[in-house]
Amino acid sequence: MNKIERVEGVLIGKDVDYPPISLWYHFGVQHGGGEPFARISLEYFHHYDFDFLKVMNDYYYPTPKGLDTVRTKADLQRFTTFDVERCEWREQFKALRIIARELKGRAYFIDTVFDPWQSIRRSVAGENMEHLAQNEPEALHAALAAVTENLIAYSERALEIGAAGVFMSVPAAKEIVSREVFLTFVKPYAAKVFAAISGLGRMNTAHIHGEELYMDDCLDFPVNVFSWWDRGPHGPSMDYVRQRVPGCVMGGIDQTLLTRRSPAFLKDHVREGVALGGGRRFFIANGCSIDTWVSPEIVRAVVAASRGK
């Protein structure tokens, strides 16, 4: 099977020769342009011979000009819709076009986004998000709605360029947000993004981010694939999720081990992950981003073990 046939087989629930594998980490080149980022991404993909490429996206959500924090209703009101082609994201689009040309007919790639809550928090609100949720709920809802529209426009453009899906990270864990905040301010807007792009991509993926997950609250996201830290201390298992969703699961590798264990240990870990994957509707991958200083020998060992070598 070639890379596309293998991924397609998993997506439609057929047996494949081995589960498609990909691994990813943040390259740390967000200060540069789309061309060098595309080259690095493609070099990484080809060097390790992954079955699909998850394109990282470290160009942060474009914040209103001159705004360096969000503390008040007035700050939140500055979040509006904008032309996604005329902001920092143009460099990501530039990279996607290069990657699409290189991989066309050879392999699928998926693009990364962060849900509306994270988009505000990561870029400019930081430590103030819980305060805003408690004290400015209406203004926060309005800001999240605007960010949602921008993320939908971004995702639609990425899919038009050639991405096989959008991989959206959604913070859904006790140690990150309370369940009330998740259900009120996180889930509704993430679900709206997923619903808008449902059917536009073959590999739209919900990455349920965190440790103590509200996984049951996420299982109705309209996506093709669910990704999470299944081998972390709290799970849940891949089998638990697969029994509850119509699509695929992605996981099997504990990303925290790749810079802390030997190649021999990790080969056994990956073989166990493949067994836990259950054969069908399963992509093998890290549960979250791996450390950037991972040894190439380790990555090559992990890929080989995933293919029964």
Distances (CA, A) of 129 to 75, 85, 171, 177: 12, 27, 13, 10
| CB-CB neighbours of 14 under 10 Å | 12
Confidence of residue 48 (pLDDT cuts 50, 70, 90): very high
pLDDT tens-digit profile of 217-264?
A: 999 999 999 999 999 999 999 999 999 999 999 999 999 999 999 999
Pair 115, 187: CB distance under 8 Å:
no
Residue 161 pLDDT > 90: yes
Q: Which residues contact 264 (CB under 8 A, 6 or more apart)?
A: none
DSSP code for 121: I
Residue 147 pLDDT > 90: yes
* Calpha distance 247→12 (Å, rounded): 8
Confidence of residue 283 (pLDDT cuts 50, 70, 90): very high
E-strand spans in the chain? Answer: 21-22, 52-55, 108-114, 165-171, 205-209, 225-228, 248-253, 282-286
Distances (CA, A) of 184 to 177, 188, 223: 11, 7, 20
DSSP lists the bridge partners of residue 208 as: 170, 228
Long-range contacts at 152-155 (CB < 8 A, ≥ 24 apart)? 152/192, 152/193, 152/196, 152/197, 153/81, 153/84, 154/84, 154/89, 154/113, 155/111, 155/113, 155/193, 155/196, 155/197, 155/200
| CB-CB neighbours of 138 under 10 Å | 9
Q: ω before 116 within 30° of 0 (cis)?
A: no
Work out the average pLDDT over 278-287. Answer: 95
Q: What is the percent of the chain with per-residue pLDDT over 90, rounded to a whole number?
A: 99
Q: Specify the pLDDT at position 175.
A: 97
* Calpha distance 275→36 (Å, rounded): 37
CA torsion angle 263 267 268 270 (round to 10): 130
CATH for 266: 3.20.20.210
The closest of 116, 110, 115, 111 to 209, measured between CA atoms, is 115
Q: Specify the pLDDT at position 125.
A: 94
User: H helices then E strands: how many in the chain?
Assistant: 12, 8
Q: Specify the pLDDT at position 216.
A: 98
Mean pLDDT in the chain?
A: 97
Q: Specify the pLDDT at position 59.
A: 95
Q: Specify the pLDDT at position 70.
A: 96
Cα atoms found within 13 Å of the Cα of residue 130, Cβ hemisphere only: 7
Q: Specify the pLDDT at position 277.
A: 95
pLDDT tens-digit profile of 170-179?
A: 999 999 999 9
Confidence of residue 279 (pLDDT cuts 50, 70, 90): confident
The closest of 265, 240, 241 to 253, measured between CA atoms, is 265
State how many domains the chain has: 1
Work out the average pLDDT over 205-218. Answer: 98
Q: Which residues contact 262 (CB under 8 A, 6 or more apart)?
A: none
Phi, psi torsion values for 284, nearest 5 degrees: -95, 130
What secondary structure, in 3-state letters, does 63-86 show? CCCCCCCCCCHHHHCCCCCCCCCC
Confidence of residue 90 (pLDDT cuts 50, 70, 90): very high
pLDDT tens-digit profile of 16-37?
A: 999 999 999 999 999 999 999 9
Residue 160 lies in domain: 3-306
Query: pTM above the 0.95 mark?
Result: yes
Q: Specify the pLDDT at position 186.
A: 98
